[in-house]
Structure 1
Amino acid sequence: MISTAAGTPGTNRTILGVACGMGAGALWGLVFLAPDLVRAFTPLQLAIGRYLAFGLISAALIGSRWRSLVAAVPARGWLSLAWLSLAGNTLYYVLLSTAVQTGGIAMTSLVLGFLPVPVTIIGSRDSGAVPLRKLVPSLLLCVAGAVCIGWQAIAAPAAGAVTGLLFAIGALASWTAYAIGNTRSLSRFAHVSAQDWNLLTGVVTGLQATALIPVTLLFEPLNHTPQAWLEYAGVSIAVALLASIGGNLLWNRMSRLLPLTLVGQMILFETLFGLLYAFVWERRLPTPLEAAAFVLVVASVLTCIAAHRRRAGLAITAAAT
């Protein structure tokens, strides 16, 4: 029997994958602030601005490689890009923005903090996945952390909290479908790089945003000041560059490095960074419950990583015997 040394390929993949997941969470956490920064605009208008910018930037980055990329993606790949763009971008951001503007960041973070639970449970059915029973401690810590994050909002709900909760649950369902579908699509179309897959997603999402412009022109107010429009454009471009280009690239890279049961845990970094940015924006320290949530969520991720590292170590040891 050959013992496993530190720095095995499986361990290195896990470390790199977690680093990518942390980076994606740091960039995605900014989306919680955006609806608060430009409250004069509706959630649909926020989605249109962000994803028009995302689509234009993606098309510019693809440039002359467009024909070769189109040829590399089969018809079913474009169908996947269409529904993933809707579930993970357009619909998700409208639901999230509505939840933030009506129920607040804490309420929205609470619900989205539960994302690892359905993703991990579904991912545990994949071939070679870590058994669900070994992930129970991590899931329990995740649930405890999510409850702490939103306990104050639930104990003393403000006006609009119920509406915000319903929209946050919708965002949770939408992003769960995206997280699972995107991971499996990246595996199915492995010949397309993570960056190119993200850029193609951007182009498709940009087309969806363009199709929604007539809706906002007909049914939503557009009597904003020039200063408000400048702020709207700045926030849209910033979120497109940081969250949609940078965050999605890191997430796609992570999705190819980690199993689905661990991918779900990585979204907790978005919750943590979203709360951190909120504290800075509101110029306050976390409450005891919020501090406890940080500890519990970090413990949840570390416990899940440990379960996967043990399984990877056993697999390498068994292969070497």
Structure 2
Amino acid sequence: MLTGILAGLAAGALWGLVFIAPRVLSGFAPVDVAVGRFVVYGAFAAVLVCAGWRSRPRPTRQQAWAALGLSMLGFTGYYWLLALAIVDAGTELPTLIIGTIPVWVMLLGKPGHLRWSALLPGLALTMAGLALMLGVQQAGDTTAYPHTWRGIGLALAAMASWTAFAVWNSAWLKRHPEVRASDWTNWLGIATGVGAMGLWLLVGSEPKVLLAQEDKALAAIVFVAIGVGSGWLATVCWSMASQRLGASLCGQLIVSETLFGLLYSFVWDGQWPSGLQWLAVVLFTLGIVASIRVHR
């Protein structure tokens, strides 16, 4: 059990890196950060597929198209929207908004026996935490993020994108039990890399602009960290946690992604959260945990 908990926390710590990456690479456009992450992830998945080329099945055309479409929702499109949101609104608010994804996934898949009234306390706490964090940010230096509301809209779009991915991806896997989860993960990775290259060709920066950046070495390190670390390695850690822990406990560990994302943000800013920010985080966390526990 301890191994499973540590693996789940490690996955959350790795996922949390994606919230700070756009700020570390502030000289790069958000679309370039998203493309860099997913090209690395796709290349790593391609290496794994090639290593087992003779022993593992190949995707059919229908499976390949499904992987490409779902990868746009859960990876390329989602992270591009998130990166844009972080540029417009900072890290804290988008991190909390994305952190509500487990709640929306559960609401969409609510068991028939569960009453809506049982979900209200958790939802109220979660919304109170979000509202308090928004109030703190709006009361602060408004010149730092003049487009906060646009960032909130982009974060909501990112949340909707990943929520749709979670629901449809689960439904697709249930309809295709013949596809192993490891194979599907690699196929998604390759599709994500292909989709990222297409996104870069459409709206990415020109090569000469990227080559002119002064922090190219830092960018390479960050892309590997969030491509391999937050992509492939985080998935491995989460699979370990899922094998060793019950579904309800795993669901509660998802909150660690949000908490690590906030921690990295405050460390990057070189400051401790204010009292109201601590209260917002506590309310948010209690709301998520309460929403998950009622599904036991």
TM-score, structure 1 as length reference: 0.77
Confirm whether residue 183 of structure 1 aligns to residue 167 of structure 2.
no
The answer to which of 103-112 and 224-233 deviates more is 224-233
Which sits farther off after the overlay, 27-36 or 167-176? 167-176
Gapped runs of 5+ residues in structure 1? 1-11, 310-321
1:210 equivalent in alignment to 2:178: no
Percent of aligned positions that are identical: 33
- Contact 1:24-1:251 at 8 Å conserved across structures: yes
1:82 corresponds to which of 65, 68, 88: 68
Give, as a single letter, the amino acid of the residue that structure 2 aligns with 1:26.
A
Q: How do 1:22-33 residues align onto structure 2 when only pairs under 5 Å count?
A: 22-33=9-20
Maintained 8 Å contact 1:32/1:274: yes
Mean CA deviation greater in 188-197 or 228-237: 188-197
Is 1:48–2:35 an aligned residue pair?
yes
Cα 1:148/1:210, change in 2 over 3 Å = same
Give the equivalent residue in structure 2 for 1:93: 79
Q: Which has the larger radius of gyration?
A: 1
Q: Distance in 2 between matches of 1:108 and 1:279?
A: 14
* Cross-structure match for 1:60: 47
Alignment of 1:1-321 (within 5 A): 21-66=8-53, 68-71=55-58, 73=59, 75-125=61-111, 130-156=114-140, 157=142, 158-216=145-203, 222=209, 224-225=211-212, 227-251=214-238, 267-309=254-296
Contact 1:186 1:255 in 2 (8 A): no
Task: Provide the secondary structure at the position in 2 that maps to 1:39.
Answer: coil
Give the distance between the partners of 1:68 and 1:24, measured in 2 at CA.
28
Conserved 8 A contact 1:255-1:263: yes
Amino acid at match of 1:280: V
**What value does the CA root-mean-square deviation take over the aligned residues?**
3.2
- 8 Å CA contact 2:125, 2:283 repeated in 1: yes
**Residues 54 and 244, structure 1, Cα contact 8 Å, conserved in 2:** yes
> 2:266–2:272: 8 Å Cα contact kept in structure 1?
yes
TM-score (norm 2): 0.83
CA, structure 1 residues 22+90, in 2 after alignment: closer, same or farther (shift >3 Å)?
Answer: same
Cα shift at 1:82: 1.6
